[in-house]
Amino acid sequence: MSDKRTIGIVGLGYVGLPLAVAFAEAGHEVVGIDSDRRKVDGINAGRSHIEDIADETLRGLSDNLRATAEEADLAPCDAVIICVPTPLTNSREPDLTYLLASATSLSRVLRKGQLVVLESTTYPGTTRERLRPILEESGLAAGTDFNVAFSPERIDPGRTDYTVATTPKLVGGLTPACAEAARALYAEICEEVVVLTSPEAAELSKLLENIFRSVNIALVNELAQLCDRLGIDVWEVIDAASTKPFGFMRFDPGPGMGGHCLPVDPFYLAFKARQHDFYPEFIELAGKINQAQPGFCVERIERALNSAGKAVNGSRILILGVSYKGGIGDTRESPALKIIALLQSLGAEVSYHDAHVAALPGNGLASADLEEALASADLAAIVTAHPGVDYERVAAVAPLVLDFRGVTRGLEAENIERL
């Protein structure tokens, strides 16, 4: 390790907290900033709010890692990394509210020699055109008095094979000196740091990573809808295509995309493209297909109930899994939320079971006991496949099962329908 540094992390969520832990484990002093007092108090008490970080890990780092809600605590930091949410507005345009507010707060305590790195996913030009001017309200000049860089987060919640340390880190600075400062910082915790020529290249690289997935998921989601009409098993088709050892990469269909990045990033790039009189129709179409997939799933539920002589109105529908991916409790942009809302609007009596998500206040629901919910359900829909759920038992108890994740492919039962 080089000389001990003081690192500030703004935003202690699924990206910021693992980053804070990585720097603390490397022996640096870490100051974590978050506006949520519950997170701050929990971290300082050794309680983690995300699955990837154990309580024991936080307790073991109490000498190096502390959380606060006070922006003034960033003043002594050698580097400040911004990891705040960058969601969409109701009109599906970039919402930089949290980012700009963080930049404004930081500008009040910014000092010479500091490094500021933005990790929040955003469109090309944000670091230079939006973040830099706000920081320079401090009276200091970016690239001269302090360094500025962009380094996209690559956290995949719940994943253990690729971590902060083992996932290559991209950095792009306003100047070569800015880039070198960012490279040196992340070299403390990452095995490989890749330096790009600009923040814009780093910003667009992140969008490309996720839009690549969005486009391919949209392709197989649309294929699933076509296979439904053709009476062909989409899972069999994908399994068959996957036997080709070259020229094909497997993507699976599902109920829609969730999480912060995949449902959001296509709209961030489309927003920037329109500013340059360019309309990325292919990318926008993929986003629209994935956004519409929960509606298709509700249509499938309606048809399954109709085949059993039941209407959606008044039927008891159990949703299995409401987080956006298996093994975690993150419900951001989860397609399950849209499916639940649509079913409730149709008069269904909706319940859900998810060991990782205790309650959905926005839908007026709490996670139900699995056995009790199965016993009373007219239909069980597998929306998120969590490890540890006995789907064979689900199929044995529920009168109808709709599997939107393909986890029942090894089961043969007349009451099972698949996407």
Q: How far apart are CA 232 and CA 240, in angstroms?
A: 13
Asked if 358 contacts 366 with a C-beta cutoff of 8 angstroms, the reply is: yes
Coil vs helix vs strand at 5: coil
Reading across the β-sheet that carries 115-118, which strands appear in turn? 65-68, 29-33, 6-10, 79-82, 115-118, 147-150, 169-173, 193-196
Record the tokens describing residue 409, joined without a space.
């492919």
Coil vs helix vs strand at 56: helix
Among residues 83, 178, 261, 297, which one is catalytic? Answer: 261
Label residue 36 exposed, middle or buried (CB < 10 Å: 0-12, 13-18, 19+): middle
Phi, psi of 146 (to 5 degrees): -150, 160
* Alpha-helix runs per DSSP H in 163-280: 176-186, 199-230, 234-241, 265-275
| N- to C-terminal Cα separation, the chain | 51
Asked if 18 contacts 54 with a C-beta cutoff of 8 angstroms, the reply is: no
Coil vs helix vs strand at 394: helix
Q: How far apart are CA 315 and CA 348, in angstroms?
A: 5
Q: Which of 161, 159, 171 is nearest to 79 (CA)?
A: 171
Residue at 105: amino acid letter: S
261 is catalytic: yes
Q: How far apart are CA 119 and CA 102, in angstroms?
A: 12
For the chain, give percent helix, strand, coil, nearest 5. 40, 15, 45
CB atoms inside a 10 Å sphere around CB 245: 6
Record the tokens describing residue 127, joined without a space.
């670091």
Which residues are marked as active site? 261
